[in-house]
């Protein structure tokens, strides 16, 4: 049985995390080219000498809509576990991207997290801490709900 307190916690976390993802997606959806420019700044998936601009452009065009969808699902509670798993996956990718930029000494003035125009949040330790907190929330929501369902007896 699910204790009511856990239900409330899940509902609140879902709403919170969902709101963050929805908010994060809006400006990127409105200004996709500006977001693509920020993806370039990370110098992870091009454009570079070997790779053209296509992979970075595809990421810039699709990622914000996955964020929006995940945010709506999390906030509404529909497919919450699955949406939280996708959110966790995205946050791991964001953490990897920011960490690698810091590691390589690439100065990312605007991380492209929420705002894509002008000066946004700088990619740094604070950002990593914030992402880790969100990741924690996503992992909590992605956990299986009850341990004693019939399916868990499957090999």
Other CB atoms within a 10 A radius of the CB of residue 86 amount to: 19
Given 7, 11, 62, 96, the residue binding another protein (CB under 8 A)? 62
The yes or no reply on residue 85 touching another protein (CB under 8 A) is yes
Locate 42 and state its tokens.
């990370």
Q: In Å, what is the CA distance from 16 to each residue of 33, 67, 119?
A: 28, 14, 25
Of 9, 26, 61, 102, the one binding another protein by CB under 8 A: 61
Binding positions for another protein, 88-147, rule CB under 8 A: 89, 106
Number of residues that bind another protein (CB under 8 A): 42
State the binding string over 9-28 for another protein (x if CB under 8 A, else -).
Answer: --------------------
Spatial distance between the Cα atoms of 25 and 27, rounded to a whole number of angstroms:
6
Closer by beta carbon to another protein, 71 or else 113: 71
- Looking at 13, 17, 70, 98, which residue binds another protein (CB under 8 A)? 70
Tell me which of 16, 79, 128, 140 binds another protein, using CB under 8 A.
79
- Smallest gap, in angstroms, from Cβ of residue 34 to another protein? 8
Contacts with another protein, residue ranges (CB under 8 A): 29-33, 36-37, 40-43, 46-49, 52-54, 57-58, 61-70, 73, 79, 81-83, 85-86, 89, 106, 149, 151-152
């Amino acid at each position: 049985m699910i204790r009511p307190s856990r239900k409330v916690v899940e509902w609140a976390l879902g709403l919170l995390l969902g709101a963050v993802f929805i908010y994060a997606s809006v400006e990127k959806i409105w200004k996709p080219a500006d977001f693509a420019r920020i993806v370039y700044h990370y110098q992870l998936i091009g454009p570079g000498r070997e790779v053209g601009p296509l992979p970075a452009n595809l990421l810039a065009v699709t990622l914000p809509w996955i964020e929006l969808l995940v945010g709506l699902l999390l906030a509404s509670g529909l497919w919450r576990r699955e949406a939280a798993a996708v959110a966790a996956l995205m946050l791991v990718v964001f953490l990897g991207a920011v960490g690698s930029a810091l590691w390589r000494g690439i100065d990312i003035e605007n991380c492209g997290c929420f705002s894509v125009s002008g000066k946004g949040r700088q990619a740094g330790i604070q950002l990593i801490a914030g992402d880790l907190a969100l990741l924690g929330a996503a992992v909590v929501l992605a956990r299986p709900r009850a341990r004693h369902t019939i399916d868990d007896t499957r090999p």
